[in-house]
Amino acid sequence: MNANQTKDFQSKLKIELDSVRCEFLNELKDAQHEFTGELASMLENSTPGEWIDLAATKINPNQFPRFQRLMELEAALCQIDIGQFGYCCDCETKLELHYLAKDPAQQRCPICEEKKRKKVHN
């Protein structure tokens, strides 16, 4: 992957991150639970960089797919920063460009992804 391609993925990830943050906040506000309301105001009073740590103490990511997505997007952006973007986090295979193009936040190659799916369901 060259620098331009990485930049391209980075800007896609950032755009999605902004919209997922906004949707997640709205979801929390609409959920009408005391703890989600509290969390929403906590998040509004902190910088987006602190969101994941704050929210992780209050909610179960499995119940909030948008929060899960938020973590994936931030992980991918962090990998770009440290120059590790585009590799499978389990077997370290280089991910194919067309595969990343479908989802730049992809963390695993198709083989490891499949293995992980099986583990979760069995």
Taking the complex as a whole, the smallest distance from the CB of residue 23 to Zn ion amounts, in Å, to 29
Give whichever of 33 and 116 is closer to Zn ion, judged by the CB atom: 116
Name every residue whose Cβ is closer than 8 Å to that of residue 106 and which is 6 or more positions away in sequence. Answer: 76, 95, 99, 100, 113
Give whichever of 75 and 88 is closer to Zn ion, judged by the CB atom: 88
Residue 42 found at the interface with Zn ion (CB under 5 A)? no
3-30 vs 65-81: helix crossing angle, rounded to 10:
150
- Annotate each residue in 73-102 with x if it binds Zn ion (CB under 5 A) or - if it does not, as one string: ---------------x-xx-x---------
Of 10, 3, 4, the closest CA to residue 78 belongs to 10
Taking the complex as a whole, the smallest distance from the CB of residue 106 to Zn ion amounts, in Å, to 11
Sign of CA dihedral 74, 77, 81, 85: positive
Residue 117 found at the interface with Zn ion (CB under 5 A)? no
Helix (H, G, I), strand (E, B) or coil at 87: strand
Q: Which stretch binds Zn ion (CB under 5 A): 17-25, 35-43, 65-73, 107-115?
A: 107-115
Interacting residues with Zn ion (CB under 5 A): 88, 90-91, 93, 109, 112
